[in-house]
Structure 1
């Protein structure tokens, strides 16, 4: 299959390698880029650090490496360990799992720092606050939308370099929405609609719903493994759902 990966780096290159190993043809054309915000870290002390994305790890350079870390999933936990955090606890991949892990590990009343993105959801902070924890949210990074559809994506969707992509992978609600917006602005809304859209979660699919689109596939768990498991084999055409 010919697959468009629109997630930002460094995740896009990693996903592309996995797809190529599976035998798929890959178009890497991110519609978002990750950038640090430069926002100061809230004053502590804190009893633990919450990471809902591996994108926040780069901003934590000045934090103590022996701090207790709660990571949303395996990829984020791996990045935290590579950054030399020595006490990393890993949840099962979504914000609800992460809130449950924290609540099972620490008593209510503890203070936690959530290193998050500017564009973030209410969870896990809402559930943890309701459970009696004190959460300080630090907007450590931001996902900036590209000003226009990447040229590689525009050419591919116009079939200028041969057959274009058949599938688009969406890893976040924001990237799905931005991809749709940039395609519309480039006059390629029809080509975008014609793609089969594979989404990491129902929340990601909601980014497409804003444009009247439904996902062809939604992963049963918010993990890359579950998303890629839903892809058709590369040696036969996709089947309609």
Structure 2
């Protein structure tokens, strides 16, 4: 999406109605950024994040591994906050710094890159604490374990699906009132699809342009045959939001040819 417009949408003549399905509090920050771009956000998370309440494992540990900013609140003010924090991407690193963790290092948004970064910096056998959610991916844990690191997983938070599609989203879908949706995680995308399907709005959901942080995030939509999606060329919010501007032919976004017609190009 690096080739897309970077000026406010109103300068391009198109303001999009954008569903921000991301959980709070990150969803609120994203909605504010969407509005600053000249679009009209609809903040309606499909996952509810809450601390797990599980106590942190006893150490000692040499470093923290963070693959989501959602794990940071459980670390703030704790003895673990003095450990080096190895973060998967810029958003997680930003949250860690804001919570007073230091030093903070980041890997550019990719779990395997995070494992490589740790491998270049910490000796094999180092004791790592991965503060994560209840539902998490295998990486970087599998790679770190295979390379001889002693990794302990602490379930610091849990993401619980909402019981039903948020009413403002259902109403917007009923009137073709959504132009785009933002998806930051595979589970969030899958949950949004499942709730829309259960509410009898899958057809309308499929007509929305789904902007996904990565190909992995988009996978549930692809598996369901939903072609109206774009994938950010870099797994960061800046790139994802840049793609909200009408997709240009010279954009390097990976875009489905079945994007809804009629979108203006800058």
The answer to whether TM tops 0.5 is yes
Structure 2 counterpart SS, 1:228: helix
* Alignment root-mean-square deviation, CA: 1.6
Deviation at 1:86, TM superposition (A): 2.1
Partner of 2:47: 32
Deviation at 1:228, TM superposition (A): 1.3
Give the Cα–Cα distance (whole angstroms) in 1 for the partners of residues 115 and 139 of structure 2.
Answer: 8
Partner of 2:113: 97
Post-superposition CA distance 1:17-67 (Å, at most 9, x none): 111111111111110110111122122110000010000001113233321
Post-superposition CA distance 1:188-219 (Å, at most 9, x none): 11110111111110100112123222352101
Give the Cα–Cα distance (whole angstroms) in 2 for the partners of residues 65 and 138 of structure 1.
Answer: 14
Give the Cα–Cα distance (whole angstroms) in 1 for the partners of residues 194 and 229 of structure 2.
Answer: 19
Aligned residues: 235
User: 1:214 aligned to 2:227?
Assistant: yes
Contact 2:212–2:232 (CA under 8 A) maintained in structure 1:
yes
Partner of 1:150: 166
User: 1:176 aligned to 2:201?
Assistant: no
Residue 166 of structure 1: which of 170, 179, 184 is its match? Answer: 179
Structure 2 counterpart SS, 1:138: strand
Once the two structures are overlaid, the 10-residue window that deviates more, 206-215 or 40-49, is 206-215
Partner of 1:8: 23
Structure 1: stretches of 5+ with no match in the other structure:
none
Residue 57 of structure 2: which of 42, 46, 50 is its match? Answer: 42
Give the Cα–Cα distance (whole angstroms) in 2 for the partners of residues 218 and 36 of structure 1.
Answer: 30
Structure 2: stretches of 5+ with no match in the other structure:
1-15, 248-261
Partner of 2:7: none
TM-score (norm 1): 0.93
User: 1:78 aligned to 2:94?
Assistant: yes
Give the Cα–Cα distance (whole angstroms) in 1 for the partners of residues 79 and 69 of structure 2.
Answer: 15
Which has the higher relative contact order, 1 or 2, with Cα contacts under 8 A spaced 6 or more apart?
2
Post-superposition CA distance 1:107-153 (Å, at most 9, x none): 10111000001110000011111111110011111111000011111
Misfit runs of 4+, over 3 Å: none
Partner of 1:112: 128
C-alpha spacing 1:145/1:170, structure 2 compared with 1 (3 Å)? same
TM-score (norm 2): 0.84
Deviation at 1:91, TM superposition (A): 1.4
